Chains A and B, each alone.
Chain A
Amino acid sequence: MTARRSGGRGWALLGLTPFSAYVVLFLAVPTVLALGTGLFDGDGALTLDNLTGLLEPAVLRSFVDLLWLSGLTAVLGAIAGALICFSLLGTREDGWLRTGISAASGVLAQFGGVMLAFAFIALIGIQGLLTQWLLRTFDADIYEGGVWLYQVPGLILPYLYFQIPLMVITFMPAMSGLKPQWAEASATLGGTGAVFWWRIGFPVLAPSFLGSLLLLFANAFSSYGTAAALVSQGAPIVPLQVRAALISETVLGRENMAGALAIGMIVVMVVLMKAYSALQSRAERWMR
């Protein structure tokens, strides 16, 4: 019997090609194209015009608004999500409560987009359930100062609606990693419940919490569907600027503006990811 050299290294390498080709074609090429077009004008000549276009007041404003919207919903979502994770401590991991909440979180975190716009129009639109109920019952008009649902402030609640579940999904493993022994050890050594959380619970959770927070920020920052369906006028946040640029390439007298916006977004995302990995390596001192 001769040894069959099946699966030699060459054949194995060949096995990597379909995926590599796929990733190159549909991830690398589009990313490079998206970023690259920002550096060229309509005639294919290198230009910085598109990038300087990022400094236009309306564009700049859309970055600023998106940043605070992302920051606000990330912080609030992280806190609310962490509270849910905390409240699930001590419940059975395979019980109906946990499976139900994690399934619901999975759906709501992924399912943002267009549907969220409908949900919030049905709830707090002008004819919305809550709007009308508040008006009838308390004579309180949430739109006294103007209808804000279709502008940037109107995005806060819908964004929170996918941020909270995302936090639950990403933070639950860290929260479950808190060992009851730590609380018991702290107590037998003389620590109160407050001491435990202050000196052990929060510090241990901090890196994961901040990591999740950054993920939430990135999530809001790159979200498009909800805003596209909800915001009716103008392009108050960057993804809507991208849409405007894609739909009407030449309106600003500048082609490839979408590419420049893409560069702007990627810069923010890369900074976020750098912050994330810096955070990870700092925490690694005591994490495995």
Chain B
Amino acid sequence: MNRVGIEPRAVTRWLILGVIGLLMALPIVAMVEFSLRGAPGEYTLDHWTGILDPENERKYRGLFEGVGNSLLLAVVTVLIVNAMLVPTMVLVALRFPKLQRWLEFVCLIPITVPAIVLVVGLAPVYGVVSRIFGSSIWTLAFAYGITVLPYAYRAVRAAMDAVDIVTLSEAARSLGAGWLTVFFRVLVPNIRRGMLAASVIATAVVLGEFTIASLLNRENLQTSVLLISRSDPYVATIFALLALLFAFALLVIIGRVGAVQPRRSSS
């Protein structure tokens, strides 16, 4: 008797996942293997332990600076998303529903405008920015806020669509709440999951960003890793692995957080 349904057979499923999974795992395995290479034919942990060796402190200083810069940029970008984008989205949904389509359009533009194009015009803008804010690294987050806009918008929008924020806020208002209370005590708790997702995605994008930093001659994780790879490819590889692992852990967490949300099931 034939099977009915859209699901693959177990054999098919594991064959597909196995083959593609294996191919996808190869580069990462190769990185691990590479990071363990010592003298020809031998493996060693020296490259890993060497990172924290005080003797190499000078050598790796730039690298750690890059890491620090990227983390700072991630924080500021997350701040931009949550303190600027989210309130704007809420405001538009509640007070200017007609602008909804425009906001969406604007937020999705960065998909059409590649970072490599944006950076051409960002150079003169940053000329002005550094005159106002100085040339410290965190100002780069303004540009990163733009590049994460489509992802952040979608994550927050999904959360907003899941709860009827208009009704929620009307209910809260009718119970006597002021706008600030409505926002912080009613809306934010309900779209918190979307804000968290947006923050995690923003963090991942910022940690992986290379184009803008590189072409504006700023130092972040990616540019400093590329720089050090010329002199010490092993440590560059190790940092690449660690960054991958960190981002993966972040996304697993968000995945699990998303999984525990109550679902409206109809079966």
Interface 0/1 of B5-32, CB less than 8 Å to A: 1111000111011001000101111110
Contact A246 B27 (CB under 8 A): no
Known: A34-B120, A114-B210, A123-B26. A229 touches B226 (CB 8 A): yes
Q: Which of A12, A90, A99, A259 touches B120 (beta carbons < 8 Å)?
A: A259
With both beta carbons as reference points, the residue of chain B lying nearest to A104 in the complex is identified as B248
**Count of A residues near B, CB < 8 Å?**
91
Q: Which of A84, A87, A88, A110 touches B247 (beta carbons < 8 Å)?
A: A110
Q: How far is the CB of A15 from chain B (nearest CB, A)?
A: 5
Known: A108-B24, A228-B214. A262 touches B120 (CB 8 A): yes
Q: How far is the CB of B241 from chain A (nearest CB, A)?
A: 8
Enumerate chain A residues within 8 angstroms of B122, measured Cβ to Cβ.
Answer: 26, 30
- Interface status of B243 (Cβ within 8 A of chain A): yes
Contact A262 B6 (CB under 8 A): no
Known: A107-B251, A259-B120. A128 touches B142 (CB 8 A): no
The distance in angstroms between the C-alpha atoms of A242 and B212, with both chains bound, is: 12
Contact A15 B87 (CB under 8 A): yes
- Interface status of B62 (Cβ within 8 A of chain A): no
Interface 0/1 of A89-131, CB less than 8 Å to B: 1110110000110111011101111111011111100001110
CB neighbors of A among B21-50 (8 A) = 24, 26-31, 33-34
Q: How far is the CB of A109 from chain B (nearest CB, A)?
A: 9
Q: How far is the CB of A175 from chain B (nearest CB, A)?
A: 9
Contact A26 B112 (CB under 8 A): no
With both beta carbons as reference points, the residue of chain B lying nearest to A272 in the complex is identified as B112
Contact A26 B142 (CB under 8 A): yes
With both beta carbons as reference points, the residue of chain B lying nearest to A258 in the complex is identified as B120
The distance in angstroms between the C-alpha atoms of A183 and B7, with both chains bound, is: 10
Contact A111 B204 (CB under 8 A): yes
- Interface status of A192 (Cβ within 8 A of chain B): yes
Contact A114 B33 (CB under 8 A): no
The distance in angstroms between the C-alpha atoms of A1 and B158, with both chains bound, is: 39
The distance in angstroms between the C-alpha atoms of A242 and B117, with both chains bound, is: 8
Contact A266 B113 (CB under 8 A): yes
Known: A26-B125, A87-B17, A108-B24. A183 touches B117 (CB 8 A): no
- Interface status of A148 (Cβ within 8 A of chain B): no
Q: How far is the CB of B199 from chain A (nearest CB, A)?
A: 13
Q: Which of B87, B106, B248 touches A107 (beta carbons < 8 Å)?
A: B248
- Interface status of A83 (Cβ within 8 A of chain B): yes
Contact B91 A12 (CB under 8 A): yes
Q: How far is the CB of A91 from chain B (nearest CB, A)?
A: 8
Q: Which of A22, A116, A225 touches B145 (beta carbons < 8 Å)?
A: A22
Contact B113 A183 (CB under 8 A): no
Enumerate chain B residues within 8 angstroms of A275, measured Cβ to Cβ.
Answer: none
Q: Interface segment, B51-59, B160-168, B188-196, B252-260?
A: B252-260
Contact B8 A7 (CB under 8 A): no
Max chain B C-beta neighbours (<10 A), residue from A106, A107, A115, A242: A115
- Interface status of A151 (Cβ within 8 A of chain B): no
- Interface status of B175 (Cβ within 8 A of chain A): no
Enumerate chain A residues within 8 angstroms of B205, measured Cβ to Cβ.
Answer: 110
The distance in angstroms between the C-alpha atoms of A265 and B26, with both chains bound, is: 33
Contact A16 B88 (CB under 8 A): yes
Contact A19 B84 (CB under 8 A): yes
Max chain B C-beta neighbours (<10 A), residue from A31, A128, A221: A31
Contact A122 B33 (CB under 8 A): yes
Q: How far is the CB of B155 from chain A (nearest CB, A)?
A: 11
Contact A130 B115 (CB under 8 A): no
Contact B125 A129 (CB under 8 A): no
The distance in angstroms between the C-alpha atoms of A199 and B39, with both chains bound, is: 59
Contact A19 B146 (CB under 8 A): no
Q: How far is the CB of B95 from chain A (nearest CB, A)?
A: 4
The distance in angstroms between the C-alpha atoms of A270 and B204, with both chains bound, is: 27
**Hey, which bits of chain A sit against chain B, CB under 8 A?**
6-7, 9, 12, 15-16, 18-19, 22-23, 25-27, 29-37, 80, 83-84, 86-91, 93-94, 99-100, 102-104, 106-108, 110-116, 118-123, 128-130, 161, 164-165, 178, 180, 182-184, 187, 192-193, 196, 201, 215, 218, 221-222, 224-225, 228-229, 239, 242-243, 246, 258-259, 261-262, 265-266, 269-270, 273
13 additional contacts (CB under 8 A) given A12-B96, A84-B16, A114-B226: A22-B80, A31-B118, A90-B7, A111-B243, A113-B222, A115-B222, A115-B243, A118-B236, A122-B31, A130-B26, A222-B115, A228-B210, A242-B117
Residue pairs across A and B with Cβ atoms less than 8 A apart, 15 shown, are A16-B88, A19-B88, A25-B142, A99-B255, A102-B251, A107-B244, A113-B222, A115-B243, A119-B240, A122-B31, A180-B6, A225-B211, A258-B120, A262-B117, A273-B111
